[in-house]
A and B are shown apart, each in its own frame.
Chain A
């Protein structure tokens, strides 16, 4: 149990407009500087959970329960509260790096804009952006600022996107399969950066299918199945003796590929 929870979720449920249940009575917390892995099959509600924490749940859907982010109750937050939270306090890193960029604007313009919105002068903002790109190990950041998203490789786009997501120094980063589309060496760099950010105190909710990613960076894991948390616990513990059927199947498939013995 984290000492100082940044996000405390209690009995959080999400029902679609037609009454169908998407998330059911979720209870969990994320500590300051903690990386919480969220694992589950497609359709288990992982992405809906992240979107709900940004107030971006499906139109007409009903969110109930409580999600306390510091002193702010997210479930009851109005638009003006969300404007202060999104991007500044809670940021999102999407899976597909190409869809997240505006194809018409240069990388530099899109990054600098984030800081200018927050009242920073253009010159200072540019300097910060160059630093942020260097932090994700992108070479020649000055040149990168002049380029359009399509001119970058997938791995570069995803790393630049990570740089953008954390420009406003959010306290909570929601990352939806951020390394699924990446090559192994690029994936490692992104994971290293996430680790470094959490060491600086940023909390991260990391949605993934890949238990290798979980093993590498997550402090704790929760397993979601049909919108219900079927298991949560410390990463090492869960990877040694998973309780839920889904985690067990996924783990044994990965273990077989690695040439490790399967868990009984």
Chain B
């Protein structure tokens, strides 16, 4: 194994998140959503964060993007602590790490057309769209399998799969080093999921993008990511190379999770434990 000298592109050190939950008679209670999470993703690497609802997956994403303040620990981009960056530095870093959300329609502004949506990150929502910018948008649309005819559509005129492709094009236009995808296909029709995941895989390979995939779908994690981290109730259960983790899970919870995977091949999957 080669020695990696550069700091990771994205790193979480001992990251914890605690929130106040409002209670009826004025007194708030503390609730721990994440307990000292450690993870790192280097340039061009892929990591899946898998877990069930309530595991803290979305809280983790939010704190990696500084949309949620951690109560403890650090998030580092290229070794720089995200918490102490100035507003301008933070803006620059956010261009390098883009996000694709779960609900493709909800993540697109309904008042804008696709051209405006895709170029939005480069003009902060206000700049004019010249021919050069239009070309750039078109180039990104083509890489996600859409064409010029989609430029003038609005989010409501797109299918779920097309909308998620637009969201991916918007994320790519800043030429990021990393994509964070929070359940990118769970809102899509099953037949479309494979298509969008294949698109993400091709993009990741062509551009050697780093990729953090958050999902409850273990098939998607194995399909796309070289490493996998299992999260449960805010704690990292285990993490490691995906193939090894799937072949020989160390934790009982991981075994339970893998045991619940269904397969369309009647000879595989959890079929045996059902009938």
Contact = CB atoms under 8 A, between A and B. Distances in A.
6 contacts: A183-B52, A188-B259, A209-B189, A210-B190, A215-B262, A257-B194
Interface stretch (B93-101, B165-173, B217-225): B217-225
Given A185-B256, A239-B264, A257 B193 contact: yes
A239 B274 CA distance: 18
Interface string A234-252: 0110010000000001111
B54 interface: yes
Interface stretch (B62-70, B204-212, B265-273): B265-273
B109 interface: no
Contacts of A251: 264
Interface of A: 41-42, 153-155, 183-188, 191-192, 195, 209-217, 235-236, 239, 249-260
Given A209-B190, A216-B269, A258 B264 contact: yes
Contacts of B195: 253
Nearest to A236: B266
State the main secondary structure of chain B at its contact with A.
helix
Given A183-B216, A184-B52, A254-B190, A195 B265 contact: no
Interface in B176-214: 189-195, 197-198
A239 B263 CA distance: 11
A78 B167 CA distance: 51
Which size bracket describes the interface of B in this complex? 35 or more
- Which among B218, B219, B222 has the highest number of chain A CB atoms within 10 Å? B219
Interface string B240-273: 0000000000000000110111111110111101
Contacts of B269: 212, 215-216
B53 A154 contact: yes
Contacts of B53: 153-155, 183
Contacts of B260: 184-185, 187-188
Contact of B274 (A188, A252, A258): A188
